[in-house]
Every structure is written in C-alpha cells, then in structure tokens.
Chains A and B, each alone.
Chain A
Amino acid sequence: MGKRWANRIALGVLWLCGITTVLVLGAVILYVFVRGIGQITPEFILTRPYGVNAEGGIGPTIVATIYVTGLAMLITTPIAVLAAVYLAEYAVQGRLVNAIRFAADTLASVPSIVMGLFGFAFFVEAMGLGFSVLSGALALSFLMLPIVMRATEEAIRAVPRFIRWGSYGLGASKWQTVSRIVLPSALPRILTGLILAMGRAVGETAVVIFTMGQAINMPFTPLDSGRSMTVHLYTLAMEGINMDAAYGTALLLMVMILFFNLSARWLTARNRKVKE
C-alpha cells in the first residue's frame, strides 16, 4: 500500500471523526426536538404539574431555574470579575498568584456532585438556609466562579497594551485606566463568558438537587425551595412517569441552552466585526 493510499484512508477516517461529532449533536437536538415539540403549549409553560403522573405544565420549574441562575449570576459576577482584574492587571507573578490559579483550576474541575454535597453540608445545614433558592444560587456561584474568572482574565489580557499606555500617558491612575479603558473594551468577551456560565448553571442538576430541593413549588422569596427544570426532567425520566412531559422539559432546556450559546456566539462575531 503506497503512501498515497495510506494518506487517503487516514484522511477519510479523520473526516469521519469530524462528521460523527456533528451528527451526534444533530441526533441529540433533533430527537429531543421531534419528540418534544408536540408538548410545547402555553399551558405547558405556564401551569403547574398536578396529580400522580405530573400532568399539566412545568411553570414553577421554569421560574425556579431562572430565579436560581439569576441570583447565582448576581453573586458570582462582581467577585469573579474583580478577581480576574487582580490577576490580569495587579498581580505580580509569584507564589500567591500560582496558588490562586491552582485553586481556580481545581474549583473548575471539582465534580458537580461534590459541589452539591458541599452545598448541602454548608449552605443548607451549617448556615441554616435550608433547601432554598439562595442555597442553590450560592452553591452554583462556586461552580460559575472559575468559568467567569477565566473568561474575564483572557478578555482583559486581550486588550492591547498601547491603549493602557495612552491612558497612563494622560495621567490616569491605575483604577481609572482599568475601569474606564480596559474593562469597557473587554466587555463583549466578559459578557460571552458570563452567558456561557449561565448556560452551565441552567443545565446543572447535581448541585441544585441537594441545595434547592425537589419539591415542586413556585419560589417567591430567596428562602423558598423549588425544583429546577433539570431536576424535574431527572425525576420524570427516572420514575418513568409522564415521558411526554419529560420530552417537553428536555426540549425547553435545550432551547434555553442553545439560546445562551447562540447569543454568546453572536456577541463574539459582532465584536470581531466592530474591531475590523
């Protein structure tokens, strides 16, 4: 077998890998879409489940999901962005920065079930917050912190040096430069990171199941418990009750995730266009 043939076969296999990956994604999306689309009615989105088979809608679970994600975002964003500002603009390379990086990497790789158990032990029990939206949001913020930190740090590092020099040259202080020059120009990429982190939070199950609880409940104050869409899907699928509602929930979840992904993508593309 000549090297030309070996080349052709190998390249064919590599093409197959690329195409398989696309097909797998396509299969998941298409399957969930086809089986779920018939479920999506205004009643399904707005009303609450009732009866032993969870008939009716999934309204409260949508509210709980958006509530806990929004709250987690509010907690995470300032801390993560300022931490990234420190790492990218202020920190002198050394042992402390190394420790912070290692901690952020570790935090990013802690399995979500460990995060869930920790959230249960710390926020639910030790801090006495109970199964609540607040406990869920605090636990989720641990999960989102490294994602937002990493994105912000990269965004800040991508801001060209000469813009900073221009600012310093005009007599601006460090903080003035960071707050009025660096952060605004890094903003689109920071937002992209935030959106992707929100997507993670919406899709997270193991963390919220042990911190926000499983009761179907319309949460009102942050101390109310609730069941997220992911937990609802998990429960329906595991108990094998009302598979139709499970398909509907899966579809709505995928739509939300795709929405987050596409808007992050759109932001990145628009940002690139503006720069050119």
Chain B
Amino acid sequence: MSEPLKTEKAASSSGLKMMSRATYFREAALKNIFLLCAVLAVAAVGLIFVFTMARGWEVVKDPGLAAFLGGTEWSSSLGRFGILPLINGTIAVTLGALLLGAPLAIGTAVFLSEIASPRMRSIVRPAVEMLAGVPSVVFGFFGLVMIRPVVAELTGGMGFGTLTASVILAVMIVPTIATLTEDALGSVPPGIREASYAMGATTWQTIYKVLLPAAKIGIIDATILGMGRAIGETMAVVMVAGNAPQFFKGLGAPIATITSQIVIDMSYATGTHKTALFGLAIILFLISMGLVALVRALSRLNTKKA
C-alpha cells in the first residue's frame, strides 16, 4: 500500500469510500471470484444438459423420435426402444406414492404445526428429518425383505411390482412434503388462527376451513416437489419393481420405470440402446426442470397475490 488512501469508488456496498488502490483491487478481485463460483452452479446445470443431450439426441435418428416417444415396446433384444411402457410405469408408481404418501405427509405436517405438544414435536420432527436421510438403497432393501413378502401374500404374485414400489416411494416422499407443508402452515399469520378460534371454531374447523386454504399454494408446491422426488427415485424402485417394461397390469404385476430401466440396462447397453438410455435421462432432466419452474411460477403467483 505505497499510495495511502488514494480515493477509489468502493466496489462494494460496504460504504467504505476511502481505500487504498491495493485494497480496492483485492476487494474487486474477490468479488469476481465469488461471482465465478456462483456462476459455476449455472454452468453445472448447463453441462449436465449439454452432455446428456450430446449422448442422447441421436434417438431422433435411430429409433426415430416417433418410435422413441410413441413406441409401446421396450425390448433391447428386438432393438425396440419405445418409452410408453416406462412412462406408464413411472406414472403408476408415482400416483400410488402420492395417494399413500401425500395424505400421511400433510397430516404429519398439520399435526406438527397445530396439534403436537412441544414434547411430541421434539420426537416427530427429528423422525421426519431422519427419514429424509435414510439412503434409498436401504429403503429398497427394506422394501425387498419386509414389504415384498406382505404384498406377495396379498396379491398372490412374487410381490415385485407397482404396489411395493408405491409403498416404499410413499415413505420416501413423506419428509419432502411434510417439511415444506409445515413451512407453509408456519407462514400463515397467527392472527387468522386466533380470529377463527375466537368465532368458536374447533381446532379441526380452523385447520380445514382456514389454515389449509390459506396454505394451499405452499402445500401444492410441496406435493409437486414430492412428486419430483418419486419420479426421479431410482435405486429403491429398481429393487422392488420387478423391472419388466410392460404396461400396468395390476398392483401386484411387475413394472419398470424410466429410472429403473436405465439402471438395469446400463450395465450391458451399447450403441443405439445406450443412446436411448441417455434419451431417457434427457426426459427425466426435462421433467425435473419443468417441475422446478412450475413451483417457482406458483410461488411468484402467491407473492403477487399476497
């Protein structure tokens, strides 16, 4: 700092207007390094997209876009790569997971935010958080050895299939939906609750006539993100779905999803087959990006209204 206190315009909002040139350059350089790190996140998404695209876009040439998106058969030995059975499988297990998981998760969130005593809360909330941390292979393993025999008993098959996968996925999406729903309920102004109680409403009336409508968009967001988790979940599904790329034939029949088919085929796929797997990855990427965009659009709608 040979030039003490040479006046430079501060690069930052610190309000420090007088600083040496060395300080100024150091501050500006650091700021740009931080910016670079932040932009890396954008670059990462771009990189993922570009590389899966580069490896997968040739599906428009080889099976052909119509045969890929509209094909009703996925069979590597016949060289047919139609994704409709896989989409069908993904929809089946995701719907099942939402039907079982979303009410449980929303109920848990309402319980945590409105009913539970601090003591109960200190048991249930950590349980929800830990459920989020359990690795998906462990869920898959648990489903394989615990849920599958029960389902086999109920449906009379091997127990691999839509129902088992849905049950496991339902458990896995509970933390996502419960945490976000609890946040949404927490941001409802307490005055609304008090007004409802003051009118003589019971706790339940307050919950379903006042709180749930007020937190509606937050709960929809939570459910959409839970759905995204179910669509993208891989290992747990592979382990219990039975992995037969066929259309839904009943709760106990084996099925394959987009994600499970990638894992099963990746170990031996070559050529067009491998390209088709990257094509599946592109579709998954677009779905997850679309869901994020949807959630952001919904929250923007919500803030505008408020």
Measuring CB to CB, which residues of chain A are less than 8 angstroms from any residue of chain B?
3-4, 6-7, 10-11, 13-22, 24-28, 31-32, 78-80, 82-83, 85-87, 90-91, 99-100, 102-107, 109-115, 117-118, 120-122, 126, 142, 145-146, 149, 168, 171-175, 177, 196, 199-200, 202-206, 209-210, 230, 233-234, 237-238, 243, 246, 250, 253-254, 257-258, 260-261, 265
Residues of chain B with a CB closer than 8 A to A21's CB: 104-105, 108, 124, 127-128, 131, 174, 178
Q: Nearest chain-B residue to A214 (Cβ)? A: B267
A and B contact pairs by CB, cutoff 8 A, 29 listed: A6-B205, A7-B205, A15-B115, A17-B106, A17-B107, A18-B111, A18-B124, A21-B131, A22-B127, A28-B138, A28-B139, A79-B37, A86-B31, A99-B42, A100-B39, A103-B41, A109-B232, A110-B45, A113-B234, A113-B259, A117-B266, A117-B278, A121-B55, A122-B47, A168-B16, A173-B16, A175-B30, A234-B239, A237-B141
> B12 near A91 (CB under 8 angstroms)?
no
Write the nearest CB–CB distance from B109 to chain A, whole angstroms: 9
B207 at interface, CB cutoff 8 A: yes
Docked CA distance A146–B128 (Å): 21
Docked CA distance A78–B194 (Å): 46
> A114 near B284 (CB under 8 angstroms)?
yes
Known contacts A13-B107, A91-B38, A230-B137; A122 and B124 CB within 8 A of each other: no
> A82 near B37 (CB under 8 angstroms)?
yes
Write the nearest CB–CB distance from B226 to chain A, whole angstroms: 11
Q: Nearest chain-A residue to B288 (Cβ)? A: A109
> B39 near A20 (CB under 8 angstroms)?
no
Docked CA distance A253–B138 (Å): 8
Write the nearest CB–CB distance from A108 to chain B, whole angstroms: 8
Residues of chain A with a CB closer than 8 A to B11's CB: 174
Residues of chain B with a CB closer than 8 A to A19's CB: 124
Q: Nearest chain-B residue to A80 (Cβ)? A: B37
| Contacting residue for A117 out of B41, B105, B108, B262, CB 8 A | B262
Docked CA distance A78–B30 (Å): 13
Residues of chain A with a CB closer than 8 A to B38's CB: 82-83, 86-87, 91, 100
Docked CA distance A145–B48 (Å): 14
> B138 near A32 (CB under 8 angstroms)?
yes
Q: Is the interface of A mostly helix, strand, loop or mixed?
A: helix
Write the nearest CB–CB distance from A127 to chain B, whole angstroms: 11
> B35 near A86 (CB under 8 angstroms)?
yes
Interface residues of B in 210-259 (CB under 8 A from A): 225, 228, 231-235, 238-239, 259
Write the nearest CB–CB distance from A7 to chain B, whole angstroms: 4
Write the nearest CB–CB distance from A129 to chain B, whole angstroms: 14
B187 at interface, CB cutoff 8 A: no
> B204 near A11 (CB under 8 angstroms)?
yes
Write the nearest CB–CB distance from B15 to chain A, whole angstroms: 6
Residues of chain A with a CB closer than 8 A to B277's CB: 117
In order of increasing CB-CB distance, the 3 nearest A-B pairs are A111-B232, A203-B135, A17-B107
Residues of chain A with a CB closer than 8 A to B115's CB: 11, 14-15, 18
- State which of B19-27, B68-76, B80-88 sits at the interface with chain A: B19-27
> B263 near A206 (CB under 8 angstroms)?
yes
Q: Nearest chain-A residue to B39 (Cβ)? A: A100
> A233 near B52 (CB under 8 angstroms)?
no
Interface string of B118-129 (1 = CB under 8 A from A): 001001101111
Docked CA distance A34–B31 (Å): 53
Residues of chain B with a CB closer than 8 A to A6's CB: 202, 204-205
| Contacting residue for A107 out of B34, B45, B103, CB 8 A | B45
Residues of chain B with a CB closer than 8 A to A16's CB: 107
- State which of B57-65, B150-158, B289-297 sits at the interface with chain A: B289-297
Docked CA distance A267–B305 (Å): 38
Write the nearest CB–CB distance from A47 to chain B, whole angstroms: 22
Known contacts A14-B110, A25-B130, A83-B40; A206 and B235 CB within 8 A of each other: yes
Residues of chain A with a CB closer than 8 A to B197's CB: none
Docked CA distance A175–B12 (Å): 9
Known contacts A22-B124, A82-B37, A237-B144; A173 and B12 CB within 8 A of each other: yes
Residues of chain A with a CB closer than 8 A to B298's CB: none
> A118 near B281 (CB under 8 angstroms)?
yes
Write the nearest CB–CB distance from A125 to chain B, whole angstroms: 9
Write the nearest CB–CB distance from B246 to chain A, whole angstroms: 20
> A203 near B138 (CB under 8 angstroms)?
yes
Residues of chain B with a CB closer than 8 A to A173's CB: 12, 14, 16, 19, 23, 27
> B35 near A106 (CB under 8 angstroms)?
no
